[in-house]
């Protein structure tokens, strides 16, 4: 358990905010990885594994609290769902980083950076929104914008896949790049699931 917060000073809101902040760090490492040469990549990937462990700890802290307390600020299922969805964002981003290193990919298509920028923006907006769960106010802008970003990410993904099939003649290279690109799309979807969970919670409480 690497998370510094002691049970006394944490609340679900603090834990969600910590988890969302790990996703900002993760999305930043992913952007760093794209600009790195092969020597730097391994150390970035190692830092990523650490961040993912911290996010796991934060998720477990939420689950443990959920299993051991009766009073929760909103529906137990929604707390569980929100924590899981935030954790899925991290898992997909870490998987993409891991595949880039594991597959020893030389150059990624330029458009991949655009997808990672979308992920960075999603991560920041999500981290900004978490503290507002306390009041349940001013959250609609957040989920509308995430849905717009996911849509943009989806369009980028489709273009990327079409380009890969048009331009890659080496099937093994294609398998590698397609898997990386698909996992980045999974990360976009995971941020959308977080936004959908927040919308659900906000609607129930309103």
Q: Which residue has the tokens 């941020």?
A: 191
* Owner of token pair 């929100």: 82
Q: Which is nearer to its own copies, 54 or 120 (CB)?
A: 54
x/- track of binding to its own copies for residues 64-103 (CB under 8 A): x--xx-----------------------------x---xx
Figure out which of the listed residues 63, 113, 114, 186 binds its own copies, where binding follows CB under 8 A: 63
Question: Which of these segments, 6-14, 37-45, 86-94, 160-168, binds its own copies (CB under 8 A)?
Answer: 160-168
Q: Tell me: does residue 171 bind its own copies (CB under 8 A).
A: yes
By C-alpha distance, which of 16, 91, 28, 31 is closest to 61? 16
What lies within 8 Å, CB to CB, of 193 at 6+ separation is: 85, 88
**Angle at the Cα of 167 from the Cα atoms of 162 and 171, rounded to 5 degrees:** 95
Q: Tell me if 197 sits within 8 A of 147, measured CB to CB.
A: no
- Choose the binding region for its own copies from 12-20, 31-39, 122-130, 165-173 (rule: CB under 8 A): 165-173
Question: To 5 degrees, how large is the angle CA 37–CA 156–CA 167?
Answer: 65
Residue among 121 and 178 whose Cβ is closer to its own copies? 178
Footprint of its own copies (CB under 8 A): 63-64, 67-68, 98, 102-103, 158, 161-162, 165, 168-169, 171-172, 174-176, 178, 200, 203-204
């Amino acid at each position: 358990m690497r998370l510094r917060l002691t049970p006394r000073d944490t609340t679900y809101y603090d834990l969600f905010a910590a988890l969302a902040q790990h996703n900002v760090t993760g999305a930043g490492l992913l952007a760093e990885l794209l600009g790195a040469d092969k020597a730097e990549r391994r150390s970035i990937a190692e830092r990523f594994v650490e961040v993912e462990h911290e996010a796991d700890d934060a998720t477990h802290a939420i689950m443990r609290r959920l299993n051991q307390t009766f009073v929760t600020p909103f529906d137990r299922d929604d707390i569980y769902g929100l924590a899981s969805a935030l954790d899925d964002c991290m898992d997909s981003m870490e998987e993409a980083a891991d595949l880039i290193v594991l597959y020893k990919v030389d150059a990624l298509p330029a458009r991949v950076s655009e997808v990672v920028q979308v992920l960075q923006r999603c991560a920041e907006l999500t981290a900004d929104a978490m503290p507002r769960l306390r009041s349940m106010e001013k959250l609609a802008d957040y989920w509308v914008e995430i849905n717009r970003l996911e849509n943009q990410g989806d369009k980028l993904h489709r273009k990327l896949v079409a380009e890969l099939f048009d331009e890659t003649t080496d099937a093994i290279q294609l398998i590698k790049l397609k898997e990386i690109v698909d996992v980045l799309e999974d990360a976009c979807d995971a941020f959308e699931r977080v936004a959908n969970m927040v919308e659900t919670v906000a609607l129930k409480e309103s």
